[in-house]
Amino acid sequence: MPPKKNVSTPSSTSAAPSAAVATPISTPQTSHNVPSSNPISILEGIFKNYSQSTPQRTKLIDAFLGFLVITGVLQFVYCVVAGNYPFNAFLAGFSATVGQFVLTASLRIQSNPANKSEFASVSPERAFADFVFCSIILHLFCTNFIN
């Protein structure tokens, strides 16, 4: 089932590139200069810069990344606190989280228009297809590993 759900999403992404390309080009590197060295203002600047220059779709990916980080941390804390008794299970869960994180991060990098020159042969659609392919393999391995 999950693959199907994944497949359904690209249809919406297919419309994305035009928008994705359009928005960031106006704001790629012309970001705010942060004259003050005050850490709080730096962070503020980062946040502002981010929320302005990042396309909506990328923000969605970022939210997912954030979720995965939290899940990973929770899993790790659980392992430390409650013990790692079915080690297989813990490992499978944790590596699923980590694996999904790096795959999603890869997707984010690949679909970032600023990196277009790096990924000449990888269009955003192709990147998403890769992402789905890798995720399926990842979860297949994990389910097999959980026992």
Tokens of 84: 């790692």
**Tokens 């795959």 appear where?**
103
Of 8-16, 66-74, 75-83, 115-123: span binding other proteins (CB under 8 A):
115-123
Tell which one of 31, 71, 75, 84 touches other proteins (CB under 8 A). 31
141 binds other proteins (CB under 8 A): yes
Of 8-16, 17-25, 75-83, 134-142: span binding other proteins (CB under 8 A):
134-142
Q: How far apart (Å, rounded) are the C-alpha atoms in residues 57 and 81? A: 36
The distance of closest approach from Cβ of residue 22 to other proteins in the complex, given in angstroms and rounded to an integer, is: 19
Query: Could you tell me the CA-to-CA distances from 63 to 32, 34, 46, 100, 102 in Å, in that order?
Result: 23, 25, 17, 13, 14
Query: Could you tell me the CA-to-CA distances from 92 to 57, 102, 139 in Å, in that order?
Result: 29, 15, 9
Total chain residues near other proteins (CB under 8 A)? 43
Residue ranges in contact with other proteins by CB under 8 A: 29, 31, 33-34, 37, 42, 45-46, 49-50, 87, 91-92, 95, 98-99, 102-103, 105-107, 109-110, 112, 114-115, 118-119, 121-122, 126-127, 129-131, 133-134, 137-138, 141-142, 144-145
